[in-house]
Amino acid sequence: MNSFYDAHRLPLRALFTLLARTHAEGVEHMPATGGVVLVSNHLSWLDPWLLGVHFPRPLLFLAKEELFAFKPLGWYLQKAGTFPIRRGESDRNALRYAETLLRDGNVVMVFPEGHRSDSGGAQAPRAGAVLLAARSGTPILPVGIAGSENLRLKHLPGHARLGILSWPKVTVRVGQPIYVDRAGGGKARKHAADLVMRNIVTLLPPEYHGVYAESTREPSASTVH
């Protein structure tokens, strides 16, 4: 998997350089070794690849199982280290597999909102990322993405083109690792997930704060309970 992943990193980096003015900061906050749950807001279907080219460590992704129905895409996703999860229900097999990957020292990427934001604003999170971090004893690394929603097809008379001429600005900001208290039930995990999402929001411009627009002044925390 690593050789396949690494072989695609350079071409994807070149593609993003062509499509946008990309800037990343705080990448050094990624722990050099050990399991990590990487969490981010979600604006575009390109977000997983965008994040993958900016981190030195391979990122393994949880993706909706519908994407694997198209065989060529499913093959590519699996080779790149992506594994399916059923949305809208508790997919225990996928979560157990993700937990195993974390215990083995891998980085697992999770979009805590569960799906892309149509408005671009942050949405209320689900508790899956917190549950994975608590069970595996691994830190959560928050990431804020701004501008990737502009990486889309734009239509001109007679044909469609990628947004190359507009060359939008895309920013990836990485925060400090967050450590999750293993204790607590469902209510505690929901609260912890909310605190993690607030950490993501502090990395975003105000126009991306969404449901947290009135409450982002609270300080971020390195440990959540």
In the chain, count H helices and then E strands: 6, 11
Give the span between the Cα atoms of 187 and 199, in whole angstroms: 19
Whole-number average pLDDT of the chain: 82
Q: Nearest to residue 106, comparing CAs of 162, 48, 207, 30?
A: 30
Q: Show Cβ contacts of residue 33 under 8 Å, excluding neighbours closer than 6 positions.
A: 105
pLDDT tens string 46-91? 898 899 999 989 998 876 666 666 677 666 666 666 777 666 556 6
Q: Average of pLDDT values for 151-157?
A: 50
pTM score of the predicted model: 0.83
pLDDT value of position 89: 55
pLDDT tens string 97-149? 889 999 999 999 999 998 899 899 999 999 989 999 999 999 999 999 999 99
CA distances from 161 to 32, 73, 157 (A): 39, 22, 10
Give the span between the Cα atoms of 17 and 41, in whole angstroms: 21
Q: Above pLDDT 90, what percent of the chain?
A: 47
Domain extents for the chain?
2-148+162-224
Class of domain 2-148+162-224: alpha beta
Q: Average of pLDDT values for 155-168?
A: 50
Query: 65 or 151: whose pLDDT is higher?
Result: 151
List beta partners, residue 49: none
Do residues 180 and 133 make contact, with C-beta atoms less than 8 angstroms apart? yes
Helix 47-54 × helix 2-19 angle, to 10°? 110
Report the 10 Å Cβ neighbour count for 206: 8
* Max Cα–Cα distance, the chain, nearest Å: 59
Helix 128-136 × helix 92-103 angle, to 10°? 40
Top-confidence range, 96-100, 108-112, 174-178, 220-224: 174-178
Give the span between the Cα atoms of 46 and 152, in whole angstroms: 9
Report the 10 Å Cβ neighbour count for 27: 13
Query: 26 or 154: whose pLDDT is higher?
Result: 26
